[in-house]
Amino acid sequence: MGNDTKSDNRLIEDRIFEKTGMLIEALPFMRRYSDQTLVIKFGGHAMGEADYVNAFAADIALLDQVGARPVVVHGGGPQIGEMLKKLEIESNFIDGLRVTDKATVSVVEMVLAGGINKALVAAIAVAGGRAVGISGKDGGLIQARKLMAVSKSDDDAARAAIDLGYVGEPAHIDTRVIEALNAARLIPVVAPIGVGAAGETFNINADTSAGAIAAALGATRMLMLTDVPGVLDHDGNLLTELTISEAEALIRDGTVSGGMIPKVETCINAVLGGAEAAVIMDGRVPHALLVELFTEHGIGTFIKAD
């Protein structure tokens, strides 16, 4: 019994020393990000899982408590699809973009700015943070223009613009509402809904919205949480760091393909627009944000200027 007790005590001591070491490693990074703006895009199918949302909310609350200024931009594609199905509204996609008529955009706004946004705000509150849910329409945050898709054809002359309805892209970001919330030490949680010049509502891709907001704020980091580890090479190995030129070359040679192309392009545009750097990372990893920001090697693919 005596030996068992000593072994248990040693195990407890080892765990304490391990946790102490982690805190010591994290301390300089906590100082590094104190009072720095971090724009975090939160999305993926796991958004519907309570444990995943709660872990993310705890990370956001901790970032706020150590002095960082997190700004959350969330998606909600799967939840929108579920609601449209319940309401028996047909949903069509062109090149990954949802064709959005008036009925659909009303549902999109209801789901994003309503249920998802407020649930995330509540989760952050439970974790000890003070968050405020807004959409891109509030304070004219995301001023949008209509986005047109281009039909795919090998014949350039045969290509034509396709009307996606109320699908938009950021035309201008007015950061004053975010800055006001930050000044009050409140955490902005943004639904990616934009407002057009005539007051119309536009559905905007969450990645694109996060990138535009990060650029406009001159964010220290734009962190894109996804369902993949990051940018992979031809052999499936994670590329941990890329310059803009290297990222563009990977798109040209086909290493970056499919749905990863717009994600990498969003990161590139965010950095070119004023963000210090961007990271594509696997949001399914427990406390991925903290691993990326507060450890030496981080997680995911870090994209920076040349």
pLDDT in tens, 71-83: 999 998 888 888 9
- Cα Rg of the chain (Å, integer): 21
| Domains identified in the chain and CATH numbers | 35-304 (3.40.1160.10)
pLDDT in tens, 17-48: 444 455 556 566 667 778 899 999 998 766 77
Predicted confidence (pLDDT) at residue 250 exceeds the cutoff of 80: yes
Q: What percent of the chain has pLDDT over 70?
A: 85
Q: How many CB atoms lie within 10 A of CB 22?
A: 13
Residue 164 pLDDT greater than 90, yes or no = no
- What is the Cα–Cα distance from 209 to 216, expressed in whole angstroms? 11
Q: How far is CA 9 from CA 17, 21, 22, 23, in A?
A: 12, 18, 20, 21
Question: Looking at residue 157, what is its pLDDT?
Answer: 46
pLDDT (0 to 100) of residue 22: 53
The position carrying tokens 């952050």 is 124
Give one DSSP letter per residue of 152-181, joined into a string.
--SSGGG--EEEEEEEEEEEEE-THHHHHH
How far is it, in rounded angstroms, from Cα 118 to Cα 124? 10
The model's pTM is: 0.86
Alpha carbons 39 and 273: distance in angstroms, whole number: 14
Average pLDDT over the chain reads: 86
Q: Which string of DSSP letters, residue by residue, matches 7-57? A: HHHHHHHHHHHHHHHHHHHHHHHHHHHTT-EEEEEE-SGGGG-HHHHHHHH
**Are 148 and 106 contacting, i.e. CB atoms less than 8 angstroms apart?**
no
pLDDT at 99 over 90: no
pLDDT average, residue stretch 214-240: 94
Position 268 confidence tier, pLDDT thresholds 50, 70, 90: very high
